Amino acid sequence: MKKLLFASVLMLLAAFNISAQQKHSLSADDLWAMKRIGDADLSPDGKTIAYVVTSYSMDNNKGNSDIWLVDSDGKNARALKNSESNETEPKFLSDGEHIAYVMDDQIRICKLDGSDDKQLSSIYTGASGIVISRDGKKMLFVSSVYPECPDQDCVKQKDEAKKSSKVKAEVFTSLMYRHWDNWRGEKRSHLFIFDTDSKEFSDLTLFSTSDVPPIDLGSANDYNFSPDGSEIAFTMNEDKDLAISTNNDIYLIKLSDIQKSGKTPYKKISISKGNDNQPVYSPDGKYIAYCSMQRAGFEADRQRLMLYDRKSGETKDLTNGFDRSVSKILWSPDSKTIYFNAVNEIYTSIYKLNLSTGKIDLILKEHINDDMMISPDGKKLYFKEQRTDLPTEIFAMNNDGSGLKQLTSTNKDLLDQIQFGSLDTVWYKGDGGQKVQAIVVKPPFFDPEKKYPMIFLIHGGPQGHWEDDFHYRWNLQMFAAPGYVVVAPNPRGSTGYGQKFTDEISKNWGGKPYVDLMNGYDYVLDKYSFVDKKNTFAAGASYGGYMINWIEGHTDRFNALVCHDGVFNFESMYGTTEELWFPEWENGGTPWQNRDLYRKWSPHLFVQNFKTPMLVVHGGMDFRVPEEQAFQLFTSLQRRGIESKFLYFPTETHFVTKPQNARLWWSTVFDWFKQHQKGEEQHGK
């Protein structure tokens, strides 16, 4: 009997080994073959979830978005709209039998089986970002128009005149003439209201030179109807100089005051000089909850949860003493509870706030949880979740955090073929003994008896963090896939560890964060015998790219470095970036006000110390960290005689978003690392 049992165990182990051997490491093509879940909406009866699925084609070098449905118990996943056009933004109507969505920049509507499909809007400037009133009779949307134009005909005439003109020039009279990856031009995003019966629409911010939603620091939930449909709350920044302002505010419009041919009056209710956004009405109509930052000019301040009493006009902070930054707000149907999520260490956790007691409970800590929805009876939460070995899927749980269940399995067939590495975290002492957390991902098919090269990753922001997510660019599993141990620390400046921890990078970019990082590097080499100390590499983007440049001038710990869209010269970047509030906050003013600090932490003043081979990567359409930073960096490396390579993407932005460019990015980065490995102990050999 024992022999028979032993033989059975051997057979099971053999079967397991065969299965494991059939799996392969994650590749760039796998990454782009993953289908990506986007916007989701729950039907009024709580029985159906509509969601967007985007698929990418490496051959076509682009993606296509379709709308899917799944029963709220996870059964019967099926495509609702699956064409060569992009169908996005599914929103259930109040009857529960129809879905509105956006295709070709117009609002359409169909039944739940896809039939009776028809176009609702015919708006020259297009419509996006639809929000539907509770009774389904009205919709909000945004569209880009010339502020001086009273109607769509005027916008069309101006567009045609610009197109036919042989003069191609722009005249700027103020800052923020370009933003992120776009030249702003003369148009502004306005908020419109649309009547679903008459098909008439009105520009609610007619003649305004401000954008709705604001150009930055807003949310995906920046305008909403009151439950009775009599009022609209929205987010806008009316400051004259947007380049130095984070002062987004919350405004109210009464539908009875809407003007057809003149500017509709609106009322401001937010009180902070910092960023206020995401106004959400309580279902009983008594309150508006919204997010607010206290400090003007600081984009990474703690985002508080505020409650505005519509009757008294009083506002109070619901999260005083809660040292995390509130993200997405969701009311319970009975208006007694607010659910929200917040970055929490390496996770984005879900919390529950009791309105009567003020008590906040953590109900789901692990992984990345976002875009919550709630059942009509308030007993179930539906949301999107992802982790390092799972792209975003839709999950459900009870409102106390119990009964967690995955509802969709969009990429199951592909994921079953991939061997991922295990994720661990370590805590170590940073500058001044401060506890710092780092993610450690082992390579797939890990063997503790072997030695593996290490990739040390530095995140951007700088007020960001490495998290337990499935990233489609800086994917931790992808870095580990060829046989690397990946170490991703969250040094000073990272979010999810309290506001003081986040604040301690400002005016100190190369100080405490650098010590935190290098202490983590040394800690990992001392702790893990399977890390090959002779073969360590570092890479980072944005602030992470800055730190790569700082490392280049301050240590020779690494075999080779990769700087993606990184800051090199603080002073010159100030004159070419767009959101000036950022460098002014981080450096304590303008260069002429605080030149010593701009120079203290600027990597370009330490070029004389450069010695490590570096790969420089940059996008030509990156207006946040403009391309001139890479030009200066590469020129300096070459003139110093440092082995270096420059990968330049003329049409990419701060990110590499096109499939074939991304494939080249990964192959170039991995070739660079492999080229600079030493000895026989390579890729786990």
Specify the fold of 420-675. Rossmann fold (3.40.50)
Is 7's pLDDT higher than 70? no
pLDDT for position 385: 98
pLDDT for position 20: 53
Rounded CA-CA distance 581/106 in Å is: 35
The total number of residues shown for the chain amounts to 685
Yes or no: say if 440 and 486 are a contact pair by the CB < 8 Å rule: yes
Yes or no: say if 286 and 273 are a contact pair by the CB < 8 Å rule: no
Q: State mean pLDDT over 518-526.
A: 98
Nearest to 105 by CA among 82, 80, 88, 83: 88
pLDDT tens profile 104-140: 999 999 999 999 999 999 999 999 999 999 999 999 9
pLDDT for position 18: 42
Find where tokens 């002062």 sit: 247
User: DSSP letter at 683?
Assistant: T
Domain ranges of the chain: 34-120, 420-675
pLDDT for position 88: 98
Is 644's pLDDT higher than 90? yes
pLDDT tens profile 277-297: 999 999 999 999 999 999 999
pLDDT grade for 16, boundaries at 50, 70 and 90? very low
pLDDT for position 19: 53
pLDDT for position 680: 52
Is 8's pLDDT higher than 80? no
pLDDT tens profile 157-216: 999 999 999 999 999 999 999 999 999 999 999 999 999 999 999 999 999 999 999 999
Rounded CA-CA distance 280/318 in Å is: 14
Amino acid at 308: Y
Nearest to 348 by CA among 329, 327, 332: 327
Give the highest mean pLDDT range of 162-171, 258-267, 331-340. Answer: 331-340
Q: SS3 letters for 489-504?
A: EECCCCCCCCHHHHHC
**Bridge partners, 456 (sequence order):** 487, 538
Q: State mean pLDDT over 246-261.
A: 93
Under DSSP, is residue 209 helix (H, G, I), strand (E, B) or coil? coil
Residues with catalytic annotation? 542, 622, 654
Percent of the chain with pLDDT over 90: 94
Q: Vertex 475, ends 472 and 477: CA angle to 5°?
A: 130
Q: Which two tokens stand for residue 186?
A: 């003369």
pLDDT grade for 260, boundaries at 50, 70 and 90? confident
pLDDT for position 64: 97
pLDDT tens profile 221-242: 999 999 999 999 999 999 999 9
Is 563's pLDDT higher than 50? yes
pTM of the model: 0.95
Considering the chain, what is the average pLDDT of its residues?
A: 95
pLDDT grade for 252, boundaries at 50, 70 and 90? very high
Nearest to 330 by CA among 341, 339, 317: 339
Percent of the chain with pLDDT over 70: 96
Q: State mean pLDDT over 561-588.
A: 98
